[in-house]
Amino acid sequence: MKLAASIAAAGLALAFAGSAAAQSFQKPEDAIKYRRAAFTVLGAHFGPLGAMANGRIPFDARAAAHHGEVVAVVASLPWHGFVAGSDKGDTRARGEIWSDAAKFKASSDRMQAEMQKLAAASKTGNLDNLKAAFATAGGTCKSCHDDFRRD
């Protein structure tokens, strides 16, 4: 409750970005913390899908469906945290996220689309489907990291 209360007390307001209700953050640090947390959760569910796709852990259809569904929801979240002024601080975000915002949006849109396909594939109970979708989805992660994340 304390965290939620502090966020509310900090004056967290709402804004619309396209069709989604987005956060707006009182401080850039809050936005950075939010997007990093969303990526952490995303990675923790994307990772096991990759481990199954690459044979590092056994394919488990039920677990795959679970991870894919979480990925499908959480993949839409971190983008709201790339607010103006959040290019400095505890972040590896490159300035190109803001200076080439159209390219960043296109990149994040591709990623989200592929994550939806990954979620769909993860529900088929078919490892080959998962392998194919994971490879493409993983490519969108790498491409965006290459362009927009510092090493």
Beta carbon of residue 82, minimum distance to a copy of itself (angstroms, whole number): 14
* Cα 39 from Cα 52, distance rounded (Å): 20
Among the listed residues 36, 105, 110, 117, the single contact to a copy of itself using CB under 8 A: 36
Q: In sequence order, what DSSP letters do the residues of 57-107 get, joined into one string?
A: S---HHHHHHHHHHHHHHTTSGGGG--TTTTSSS--B-THHHHTHHHHHHH
Q: Which stretch binds a copy of itself (CB under 8 A): 60-68, 83-91, 97-105, 125-133?
A: 60-68
Q: Which is nearer to a copy of itself, 73 or 101 (CB)?
A: 73
Query: Which distant-in-sequence residues (6+ apart) come within 8 Å of 24 by Cβ?
Result: 12, 13, 14, 15, 83
Side chain identity at residue 1, one-letter code? M
- Residue placing its CB nearer to a copy of itself in the complex, 80 or 97: 80
Residue 132 is a binding residue for a copy of itself (CB under 8 A): no
Neighbour-count burial of 55, counting CB atoms closer than 10 A to its CB (0-12 exposed, 13-18 middle, 19+ buried): exposed
Cα separation of 7 and 139, whole Å? Answer: 34
Among residues 27, 28, 29, 65, the one that binds a copy of itself under rule CB under 8 A: 65
Instruction: Give me the least distance between CB of 95 and a copy of itself, in Å please.
Output: 20
Q: Which residues bind a copy of itself (CB under 8 A)?
A: 1-14, 16-17, 19-21, 23-24, 30, 33-34, 36-41, 43-48, 50-51, 54, 56-57, 60, 62-63, 65-70, 72-74, 76-77, 116, 119, 123, 138, 141-142, 145
